[in-house]
């Protein structure tokens, strides 16, 4: 039980760090949390948060890690953001401006990663290429 309480406290501290450094004074409005996002007949997922962040329509994903991350190590996170922003745009007729990763390590180190503009479009296209490849490899039409 003691170990559980220690781990629980650690997660609370990680969440507090993300709220204090990544959300407070940056998040203007929340459209939804834990929202199902789908691209019709292609893929689906769950976005942690959709809203206005520093004046821009964004999708935010919260992550925890054992150690700090470098941008090169989180390409899959960016693909996920590309997928979610594209799906939101297609289904809701929006134009999401960015995808953001708010990450905290178990040592309470906060990191923020953002993709926007041409970089966001690149990850959207890369993700759709993977979807196409998946369907082709599995003979799904």
Domain that holds residue 96: 2-137
Q: Tell me, what's the pLDDT at 95?
A: 94
Strands 56-65 and 98-105, sheet pairing: parallel
Indicate if the pLDDT at residue 83 is higher than 90. yes
* Residue found under tokens 């180190």: 109
Distance of alpha carbon 69 from the chain centroid? 15
Contact yes or no for 62/53 (Cβ under 8 A): no
In total, how many domains does the chain have? 1
Average pLDDT over residues 122-137: 93
Contact yes or no for 58/51 (Cβ under 8 A): yes
The DSSP call for residue 48 is: E
**CA neighbor of 79 nearest in space, from 90, 87, 70:** 87
The DSSP call for residue 19 is: I
Average per-residue pLDDT in the chain?
92
Tens of pLDDT along 2-51? 554 555 888 899 999 999 999 999 999 999 999 999 999 999 999 999 99
The Cα 50–Cα 48 span in angstroms is 7
Q: In CATH, what number is assigned to the domain containing residue 62?
A: 3.90.320.10
* pTM, two decimal places: 0.89
The Cα 76–Cα 71 span in angstroms is 10
* Residue found under tokens 């939101």: 88
């Amino acid at each position: 039980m003691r170990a559980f309480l220690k781990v629980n406290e650690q997660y609370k501290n990680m969440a507090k760090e993300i709220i204090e450094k990544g959300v407070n004074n940056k998040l203007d409005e929340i459209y939804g949390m834990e929202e199902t996002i789908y691209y019709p007949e292609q893929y689906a997922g769950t976005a942690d948060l959709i809203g206005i962040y520093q004046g821009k329509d964004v999708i935010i994903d919260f992550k925890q890690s054992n150690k700090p991350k470098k941008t090169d190590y989180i390409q899959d996170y960016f693909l996920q953001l590309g997928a979610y922003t594209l799906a939101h745009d297609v289904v809701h007729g929006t134009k999401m401006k960015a995808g953001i990763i708010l990450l905290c390590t178990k040592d309470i180190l906060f990191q923020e990663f953002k993709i926007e503009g041409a970089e966001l479009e690149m990850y959207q296209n890369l993700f759709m290429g993977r979807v196409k490849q998946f369907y082709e490899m599995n003979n799904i039409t």
